[in-house]
Amino acid sequence: MTTEKIPRPSGSFARDDFCNLTISDGKPVKKLRTGLVYDQRMTTYHCLWDPYYPEKPERFSSSLEKCREYSLIERCLEIPSRSASEEEITLLHRKDHVIMIKYTENKEDEEFLENLSSKCDSVYFHPKSYEIACLAVGCTINLVSTVLENKVQNGMAIIRPPGHHAMEDKACGYCYFNNVAIAAKHAIKHYGLNRILIVDWDVHHGQATQYAFYDDPRVLYFSIHRYEHGAFWPELKESNFDYVGEGSGKGFNINVPLNKTGMGNGDYLAIFHNILLPVAYEFSPNLVLISAGFDAAFGDTKGRMEVTPACYSHLLHSLMGLAGGKVCVVLEGGYCIPSLAEGVALSLRTLLGDPCPDIGSVPRPCESVVETILNVISVHRQFWHSLVLQGSYKENEDEKAMDRVRHRPEIRFEGPVQKPETFPTKDLNFRLDQELQAELEQQLKGLIAKTDLAVSPYRTALAFDERMMKHQNPMGRCLLKRGYTDLCFSVKCRFATEEEIALVNKKGNIDKSKKTDTVKPTNVFKFHTDCASNYMCQEIYRCALLETGSLLQVTEAVCSRICCNGVAISQPLVHHDEADEVCSFCFINSVTVAAKFAMTKFGLKRIMIIDWDIHSGDGIQCAFEDDPRILYVSVRHYDRGDFYSRDSGTNFDLVEKSRGTGYNIIIPWINGGLGDYLSVIFSIILPIGYEVIKVNPLKYCLTNQLEVICIKTNVLDTDGFASMRKCNYYQAIHKLSVDIIWSKMWSTNSCETQSQLITIHCCEIYYICDFLCESNDFNPELLILASGFNARRNAALRSCCVSPECYSHMIHLLSSLANGRVILSIEDGYNLTDTPEAVCCCIDALLGNPLPPLSECLQVSSSAVDSIQKIFHVLKKYWSCLQFDVDLPAYEPHLSPSEVSRAQNIMYYKENAARWY
């Protein structure tokens, strides 16, 4: 493959008179650098009377060292550290609290310090506690200010002590001053922000941050924390899901309490996909602050959760599309040093724009977290338009008459009724015995060692050739004018070979298209009338070959890791063309050719194709509907079958086709707005993309058939087969199928058994067993987006209303999959002004540039809710992550918090100005 950069095309484009459109002069908004603030003085305080105290200097030094090991610090812009002033600290804390902490400064009396510490819950004082606590607050404020002044794009504060437990008048939980809450108050006062999102993923509830903004609609506080019905620290009723805020702040406090230990990547991703991301996008913050504790990470004996360090990259990446990329990550807890250091480093790596590492197997969310998610949605959907995907019921309705599962939220508290007056000051660290500790460390080392952190030398490949303008392609001018051809790695376009397009297209179809190259211009019309919804010109076949070859060049650049992602400008279109027919402006289905090319040349086994063109991509669907290596998702306009292609096979219930059962997902709209499209990304596409345990009826059909055969032919009895299931089950089936079944088929006297065996065709037995041997995951290795832009607002077709900016957010969210290997095949879009704008927004997302906020209403339409509920019902038997198809108690609608924050804030400011300022 040719990988040298090619010069930009010169001269005017062909058909320039057709492409006379107005294009904005706006250049791409490039990502600024990532800021990093820390101070080595933060290693100078520790617990004087307990060397095993969990909050210790190694938390800071090891995190910093891991960042150096990964060569991350030199890539950042270092922000100066400083101490916060008393005036800044008292934006939140009472003055007498500041005086009390300051009183410990330079006190060398260990007995006095320990006695004072016993008056606070899980706190120790040191002669330098006040100095370092002020330093932590000052570093956090400096980071936020630097981001808000556009000196850096985003940043991280590697600091200690943590802050989210420090209350207005009391130190608590290793915290003296609340770093994040003070920085949020500072941003509101000095920068006039009115929508700040605080995400707290520390395993302990940040109760002090909740108290600070409980009645304030300018701050949305979202906390995921271990709770165990109040039995886990801080053992508070107000850490439960039913504490939603008060007054004007109702709906702006979201607690996600985890009521069992051992929760991992699948559980946290389910919380993000079903609650946080929909609400966060509806809230549309000006700034995102993350209270980043890493004590839910694998190996932390305090948190006892199992989130892998690499998963934090995925959680963070999903939030970086918000607030124009203004995201500040501030270190809170984390007490397993290797896991903490890895989590910090991988989070900083994500802020720098590196792709999310593969996190491997993502199991289904456990029953406990599903219950919690439904509890949270049940109390918050009266406030947020985006939390409406579940049905509702009234208590007086007959449950037997309803053919749906009902969920009833339950509020339980099993914590202490009253807190003690004094607290222990020693032996607070839970220590495993040496053997278990060694085993845990070994598992963690293996987890870290297998994390692939390779980064491609180039970010985004671009394939575009002005010769495609002979088929009237208006997008090239926009790319050139805005400088995208200089920002991307240009791959040399080429013509696809007949052997390559024959991977999908039948010879008769190829020969028919080739004839246009030699036919007389006066006879072209005959070809045009023979094809459905198509037009022909003499250059069409060579344009289609060039378009397909260009997409293959991008596919090769991405699959060989020369580039992280890529975009190919496709003209003519591709996704309707079938193996034996050209139709609907399409001549060679280059997306299917690219997928086959990736499988044959690079050995990929899991490719996800997402087709968001408003029309049915029937060509792609037909090519792979029986192939479990391809997960095809189509978001299309359907209108009850009254929209092209008017085929019942384009509805949501067409999911079963031989081996491809469950891998063909159709999402039909009547209309579609921003909220509808994002809702599908959050609730269906991302969960399935991360899924590992697929409930595959074909698998069970085949294994059950083999089990019946083995037992009937006396190969194994029932107990023997059951024991085989517990060990190398699939390997045993392989051996049985090859060494035993076929010989038994001819020796058995049972005609019934012979018939059963013969139905398993001898040519497919090896494929069946190989299929059964696989883990049935779909964590894709490559993501191909067939990107039509005719669902865009102002498009001539129907009434979908997706903005160019929304497409960029969709790409950003999806790029956490497949290690960031995303290929964008640009297809149609019939508004010649807005389509180039949408293409540029998509390329911005691939380049990692900051994304513009979505200003339009993100309410999910009732027709979209109906479609999504039907899709849940059909797909949940195939995909175990789709467990939220239930009814919740009916509620009285309120004004949503997003409306409150925009419509009522002016009044709220006037009423509270004196108290705030």
Q: Which residues are catalytic?
A: 165, 576
| Number of continuous H segments (helices) and E segments (strands) in the chain | 34, 18
Report the SS3 class of residue 46: coil
Closest CA relative to residue 110, chosen from 424, 425, 427: 425
Separation of alpha carbons 789 and 794, rounded Å: 11
Token output for 191: 């920068």
φ/ψ bin of 284: left (φ > 0), alpha (ψ from -120 to 50), beta (otherwise): left
Half-sphere exposure of 241 (CA within 13 A, CB side): 25
Q: CA torsion angle for 278, 283, 289, 290 (degrees, to 10)?
A: -20
Give which of 727, 731, 656, 636 is closest to 698, Cα–Cα: 656
- What H or E segment, with its residue span, contains residue 28? none
**Tokens describing residue 595:** 């997928």
What are the distances in angstroms from CA 752 to CA 704, 755, 843, 864, 907? 16, 5, 60, 49, 80
- CA 896-898-903 angle, to 5 degrees, is 95
Give the residue from 349, 348, 350, 328 showing the smallest Cα distance to 149. 328
Q: Which of 302, 420, 382 is nearest to 53 (CA)?
A: 302
Task: Classify strands 822-826 and 563-569 as parallel, antiparallel or unpaired.
Answer: parallel
Handedness of CA 419, 423, 429, 433 (dihedral sign): negative
Best CA proximity match to 500, nearest among 510, 489, 512, 487: 510
CA distance 221 to 251: 10
What 3-state class would DSSP assign to 534? Answer: coil
Q: Sheet containing 458-463: which strands, arranged edge to edge?
A: 489-490, 458-463, 563-569, 822-826, 782-787, 607-611, 630-637, 664-669
The letter for the amino acid at 283 is F
**Rounded CA separation 123/632 (Å):** 53
Q: Which long-range contacts (CB under 8 A, 24 or more apart) does 42-46 make?
A: 42/132, 42/135, 42/136, 42/159, 42/160, 44/128, 44/132, 45/126, 45/127, 45/128, 45/129, 45/132, 46/126
Q: For residues 5 and 546, what is the distance between their CA atoms, to the nearest angstrom? A: 18
Question: Which residues have CB under 8 Å from 379's CB, separation 6+?
Answer: 241, 242, 244, 409
Task: Tell me which residue of 209, 258, 206 sits closest to 231, measured CA to CA.
Answer: 258
Would you call 85 helix, strand, or coil by DSSP? Answer: coil
At 828, is the secondary structure helix, strand, or coil?
A: coil
Alpha-carbon torsion, ordered 11, 15, 21, 24, to 10 deg: -30
Distance from the Cα of residue 732 to its chain's centroid = 37
One-letter amino acid at 672 equals G
Query: Which residues, in sequence order, are CB contacts of 546 under 8 Å at separation 6+?
Result: 465, 467, 468, 493, 494, 495, 496
Q: Which of 683, 493, 514, 497 is nearest to 582 (CA)?
A: 514
DSSP β-bridge partners for residue 460: 565
- 826: β partners: 569, 787
- Phi then psi for 478, rounded to 5 degrees? -65, -45
Q: What is the distance between the alpha carbons of residues 209 and 237, in angstroms, rounded to a whole number? A: 15
Nearest residue to 880 via CA among 694, 607, 739 = 694
CB 618 within 8 A of CB 578: yes
